[in-house]
Amino acid sequence: MRLAKHMRVLIQNYSTNNSTEPMYLCQCLQSSGLTAALWNPSQSSAFDAFDTIKPDVFITKFEHFNNDIYKWLIQSQQTQCVINMTGAQQEHVGILDQMSEKLNIPFVFTNEPKGRQKLKEGKVKIHSLLPAHDVFLDAIPSVAPDYEIELGILAGYDSRSRTKEIYDNFESYHFLSTESSLTDSLDVTAPIMNLASLLSRYKNIVISEDGPNINQVLFEALAKCDSVFYKCKYESHQDKIVPLLQKILGSKEGLEFNKKSVSFKSRVMEKHTCFNRASSLAKLLKAEELSRNINNVAKEFLNDNSNS
């Protein structure tokens, strides 16, 4: 593989309403001076994308991996293939192990916290790479009019009954979601790419998920709002999420609503931006120089934007 500064990276665009991970990884790598490209399969074929970039590293998500990608990679053993396995089943690990016999797969990762991965490792190492605050979303202008609301309840389901005891304490509140299926039920639904810019308009934000999950919306909310709380859809999951949040945030506070709110903006900007994740990914690729370079670029980027 080429030296880190000459490394070429191709990332398949597996973005969803809930995640901009492939986009922010690509932008972080580009910001560090690397040749990195985001590939949209709807715009070009796998062979065209790979033949154009000739990547040293290819990053994708397991459900987007197809036969054309396999055919190209099997002819290019020097290209490392890194796969996001979040949401995969154990049977997919078996398929991964078979693929690793013919492809160069140094490791895979999930967005689940370390020690909480649901998958059991096979032949290929499974690492943890949490979601992150996408600092590049701040550059996307909001088309919504200015407003200020006391409470925003951000959930992946219709949380009106689950959170009633919370929003009854506020005079003004909005129900928010990244799920388009809830458009007719809630006040605001939009992909995280567009929703992130609205979060600073809420004095308090409650995150509510189906399970004890850590998603990108959590880090976006923590980066934009001083008062963020987390309430699981099911009470049985609440005891699981609190220690997890305490560990991630390096605090005794677990974002519980019945306790005093604490701002974690500085913690997020120090430990949980997309630059942090790109740097970690570089380390996993054993590209230590690239990892350090990304950290240096992050300091400059965040300093410039904090002063603007």
Domains of the chain by residue range: 4-132+273-307, 142-268
> Which of helix, strand or coil describes residue 175?
strand
Q: What is the pLDDT of residues 230-240, one digit of tens each?
A: 999 988 888 88
State residue 306's pLDDT score: 67
Low-confidence ranges of the chain (pLDDT < 70): 1-5, 258, 260, 306-308
What pLDDT sits at residue 256? 84
For residue 307, the model assigns a pLDDT of 55
- Confidence at residue 137, expressed as pLDDT on a 0 to 100 scale: 95
**Fold of domain 142-268:** Rossmann fold (3.40.50)
Q: What angle do CA 121, 99, 91 make, to 5 degrees?
A: 50
CATH class belonging to 4-132+273-307: alpha beta
Residue 199: both structure tokens together? 């979060």
286-41-105 Cα angle (round to 5): 25
Residue 97 has a pLDDT of: 96
The pLDDT value given to residue 4: 60
**Phi, psi angles (nearest 5°) of residue 51:** -70, -30
pLDDT confidence of residue 296: 95
In angstroms, rounded to a whole number, what is the distance separating the alpha carbons of residues 260 and 29? 38
pLDDT tens per residue, range 177-192: 999 999 998 999 999 9
pLDDT of residue 2: 54
Residues in CB range of 287: below 8 A, 6 or more apart? 4, 7
Asked if the domains at 4-132+273-307 and 142-268 fall in one CATH topology, the answer is yes
Q: Give the pLDDT score at 5.
A: 62
Residue whose tokens read 């397991």: 62
Distance CA 272, CA 261 (A): 19
